[in-house]
Amino acid sequence: MKNYLSLIKFSHTIFALPFALLGFFLATLELGEGINWLNFILVLLCMIFARSAAMAFNRYLDRDIDEKNPRTITREIPAGAISAQSALFFVFANCLLFVICTWFINPLCFMLSPIALLVILGYSYTKRFTYLCHFVLGLGLALAPIGAYLAAGGGFDYIPLLYATAVLFWVSGFDIIYALQDEEFDRSLNLQSVPVRLGRTKALQFSNLLHLLCAALILMAAYQLQETYTQLGWLHWLGAGIFVALLVYQHLLVKADDLSKVNLAFFTTNGIASLILGSLVILDCLF
């Protein structure tokens, strides 16, 4: 169990999960009905199964690459802790469980489930042919607030789309920062990324731009929430402000000539930002 949790980096679920729950509770607020706790649990399970499938498939597909990279050679498959066949079976099992959960949510989520799987699994191929791979990863996580909104009975509405687009730019931006670590290695194997395409300095500038767009969308979503639901208080504004501040903070941590704090910027800062924003918006919706 420990090996599989490490394989899928289970702790990184914190990136998208708060946005999924945010979408769920926004739909509950919009409908004006009580919380459907069964759907809430199913949304949690969908997030866990979908992300587990995506991460395990990425590790399975990249096993030969990881074996050559000093930074990733200790991952579970190249290290022999989990066999490639077992990892692939784990992917299939999680995909099946994800689809089953969507079946119990509603027909729309069930019909859209193959598209979601296509995006989140397809990402693993993209760095082999396009430097825009970061945006495919961002798109996969951007489905979280929209999917959860639909699961709670909402439609394709403006506010969850704002949050989804913000997640797209947010994840793409911090994935570019993370990819800085492997710029030289990726170039040696002809793998594609923004750092490979633009170099460190311009890649960081591009990440800055994406996070500026993300910040603008987060603030737009907060404003739209206040306009749509006048009964909301100030907590969602506080969450938006802290999220934007942490975006700025992570860019102060990482320099083109100093990547020693990439993990602090990528894992810790972004995880805290997502958790705080999601929690405060949900609290405002509930109380």
pLDDT digits (tens, 9 = 90+) for 104-157: 999 999 999 999 999 999 999 999 999 999 999 999 999 999 999 999 987 888
Percent of the chain with pLDDT over 90: 81
Q: Note the pLDDT of residue 263.
A: 80
Burial 249-274 (b: 16+ CB within 10 A, else e): ebbebbeeeebeebeebbbebbbebb
Q: Note the pLDDT of residue 10.
A: 67
| Domain ranges, ordered by start, for the chain | 13-286
The mean pLDDT of 9-34, rounded to a whole number, is: 86
Average pLDDT for the chain: 93
What pTM, to 2 d.p., does this model score? 0.94
Model confidence pLDDT, tens digit, residues 252-269: 998 888 888 888 777 788
Model confidence pLDDT, tens digit, residues 198-226: 999 999 999 999 999 999 999 999 999 99
| pLDDT tier at 11, thresholds 50, 70, 90 | low
**What secondary structure letter does DSSP report for 75?**
S
Query: How far is the C-alpha of 270 from the C-alpha of 279, rounded, in Å?
Result: 14
Query: How far is the C-alpha of 113 from the C-alpha of 95, rounded, in Å?
Result: 9
Q: Note the pLDDT of residue 231.
A: 87
pLDDT at 286 over 80: yes
Domain 13-286, CATH 1.10.357.140 — does that match? Answer: yes
Q: Note the pLDDT of residue 17.
A: 92
Q: Note the pLDDT of residue 34.
A: 84
The mean pLDDT of 182-206, rounded to a whole number, is: 96
First CA to last CA distance, the chain: 38
Q: Please write down the long-range contacts of 236-243, taking CB distance under 8 Å and 24 or more positions apart.
A: 236/280, 236/281, 236/284, 238/280, 239/276, 239/277, 239/278, 239/279, 239/280, 239/281, 239/284, 240/277, 242/273, 242/276, 242/277, 242/280, 243/215, 243/218, 243/273, 243/274, 243/276, 243/277
Lowest mean pLDDT among 5-14, 16-25, 271-280: 5-14
Q: Note the pLDDT of residue 125.
A: 96
| pLDDT tier at 240, thresholds 50, 70, 90 | very high
Q: Encoding tokens for residue 8?
A: 């899928």
pLDDT at 282 over 80: yes
